Amino acid sequence: MDRIVRLDTRQEAGLQAIADKFVATHQGDVMKALKEMIVLNGRLQEKLDAAAGSSPRSRRLAG
């Protein structure tokens, strides 16, 4: 993990609402939702890595 993100109460409530909707789209199955989120994050990371190309930042994070 690169950094710690701190949320205020309003941000935390918004995040909780989104998480609740995401779990609801998976028929309330938290593990199924978690697995899907891991897959989605992996795909996003691949896209970010491809977009970054060989920038100095991407080389630094890869090492």
Q: Which residue has the higher pLDDT, 55 or 22?
A: 22
As given in the structure block, the two tokens for residue 48 are 């970010």
pLDDT, position 61: 58
> Looking at residue 29, what DSSP letter applies?
-
pLDDT tens, residue by residue, 7-52 = 999 999 999 999 999 999 999 999 999 999 999 999 999 999 999 8
Q: What is the pTM of this model?
A: 0.63
Q: What pLDDT does 62 receive?
A: 55
Distances (CA, A) of 59 to 4, 9, 41, 42, 51: 21, 36, 20, 18, 13
What is residue 55's predicted lDDT score, i.e. its pLDDT? 60
pLDDT at 37: 94
